[in-house]
């Protein structure tokens, strides 16, 4: 039967060649110091020196590295899940270890931007401007022939567009304003020579009137045009057939705003590959063991022991009996494996519960409860009577 290596009674991390498989924390002096202590502690918890422990220093160091990595895995995964909405779109070139993540509305606003596009009040799609030539006496025009199927279309010849606004309207009423009461003696015309206004046209009114006065004048002019004249308007069927009113009496350009439909249907916000886009590229690196506090290290030590039991169970399972002077003993591989599995599960559940209780939502819930309890307590304080 092959000779089984057993724990020699001590370990030296600094004197061991390749002490851990991945070397994540090998240069951390606190990890090095803890590794020797954890190896001794685990061996003694497994019964050494009363019983032999069929493990070597590298086995304990490997279990210790796995425990630290497992702890960091759950801590950082929880932080990623809690903050992915705040992190998405940020740079993935900055290590987030030990950085405070502040909630923000970046993605909420990005989701709402598409509604701004449709409302014409901003958004994430660029409005483009085009124009067609209007001919005198011609009322109907095909935007497909004059714009969509031409090289002027920035989306490419034939790329579908959607018209958002057509600039076809009469000049504002204010520029067509003429005071019908000028010179009629109605009392609204004040040519105040003493203020230097005497050289102006009689149609100019220098009296300060209420704002609604101007608004009523503008409405009157526009209402007059609407009833007595051919009002400026247009009829757009789909994004193709355009009919304008009144019939053009001169040749000019008609401008319009539109969006290219492929721009709106494109789900890719940016082609920048240096941004956080999913949980796999959130820039958390290996945890720095020296920054881990004492309560967290206690969890790591216990998880190291559970992994060590799992290793020892694998070794003892291979050698179901171990020779001793004058006899053989049956190993406890089955019991060790069962204990290791139960302890690992319990430790993971304990860590998950701690992370859940430290979440932002739980924090706000506790704050609300504290505020409510404080208010309930203050209601029981007698109110003093003030005498004036």
Lowest mean pLDDT across 94-103, 179-188, 236-245, 328-337: 179-188
Cα gap 212→5, rounded to integer Å: 99
Closest CA to 55 of 304, 309, 302, 306: 309
Q: Across residues 15-34, what is the average pLDDT?
A: 95
Q: Answer for the pair 282, 174: CB distance below 8 angstroms, yes or no.
A: no
Does the global pTM surpass 0.75? no
DSSP H helical segments within 155-230, as ranges?
A: 211-228
The SS3 of residue 236 is strand
What are the structure tokens assigned to 258, written together?
Answer: 């539109």
What are the structure tokens assigned to 141, written together?
Answer: 């025009």
Neighbours of 371 (CB within 10 A): 10
Check pLDDT > 60 for residue 201: no
Helix (H) or strand (E) holding 368: helix 360-378
Q: Across residues 242-265, what is the average pLDDT?
A: 88
Check pLDDT > 90 for residue 6: no
* Beta-bridge partner residues of 162: 259
Cα gap 84→365, rounded to integer Å: 21
What are the structure tokens assigned to 126, written together?
Answer: 């660029």
Cα gap 298→125, rounded to integer Å: 53
What percentage of the chain reaches a pLDDT higher than 90?
Answer: 41
pLDDT digits (tens, 9 = 90+) for 124-147: 788 889 899 999 999 999 988 889
Lowest mean pLDDT across 51-60, 62-71, 160-169: 160-169
pLDDT digits (tens, 9 = 90+) for 335-376: 999 999 999 999 999 999 999 999 888 888 988 999 999 988
């Amino acid at each position: 039967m092959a000779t089984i290596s057993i724990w020699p009674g001590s370990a030296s991390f600094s004197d061991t060649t390749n002490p851990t498989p991945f070397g994540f924390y090998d240069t951390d002096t606190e990890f090095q110091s803890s590794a020797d202590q954890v190896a001794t502690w685990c061996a003694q918890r497994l019964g050494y020196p009363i019983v032999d422990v069929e493990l070597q220093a590298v086995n304990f160091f490997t279990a210790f590295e796995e425990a630290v990595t497992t702890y960091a895995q759950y801590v950082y995964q929880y932080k990623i899940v809690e903050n992915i909405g705040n992190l998405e779109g940020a740079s993935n070139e900055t290590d987030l270890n030990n950085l405070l993540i502040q909630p923000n509305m970046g993605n909420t606003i990005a989701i709402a931007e598409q509604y701004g596009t449709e409302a014409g009040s901003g958004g994430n799609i660029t409005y483009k401007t085009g124009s067609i030539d209007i001919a005198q006496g011609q009322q109907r025009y095909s935007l497909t022939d004059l714009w969509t199927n031409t090289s002027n279309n920035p989306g490419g010849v034939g790329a579908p567009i959607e018209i958002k606004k057509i600039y076809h309207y009469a000049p504002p009423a204010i520029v067509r304003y003429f005071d019908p009461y000028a010179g009629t003696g109605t009392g609204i015309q004040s040519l105040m020579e003493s203020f230097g206004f005497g050289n102006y046209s009689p149609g100019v009114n220098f009296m300060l009137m209420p704002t609604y006065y101007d608004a009523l004048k503008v409405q009157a002019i526009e209402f007059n045009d609407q009833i007595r004249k051919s009002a400026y308007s247009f009829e757009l069927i789909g994004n193709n057939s355009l009919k304008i009113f009144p019939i053009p009496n001169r040749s000019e350009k008609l401008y319009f705003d539109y969006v290219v439909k492929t721009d709106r249907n494109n789900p890719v916000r940016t082609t920048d590959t240096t941004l956080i886009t999913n949980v796999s590229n959130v820039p958390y690196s290996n945890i720095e063991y020296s920054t881990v506090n004492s309560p967290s290290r206690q969890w790591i030590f216990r998880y190291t022991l559970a992994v060590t039991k799992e290793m020892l169970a694998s070794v003892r399972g291979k050698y179901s009996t171990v020779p001793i002077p004058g006899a053989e003993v049956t190993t406890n591989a089955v019991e060790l494996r069962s204990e290791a599995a139960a302890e690992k599960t319990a430790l993971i559940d304990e860590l998950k519960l701690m992370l859940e209780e430290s979440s932002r939502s739980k924090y706000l819930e506790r704050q609300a409860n504290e505020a409510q309890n404080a208010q309930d307590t203050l209601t029981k304080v007698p109110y003093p009577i003030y005498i004036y």
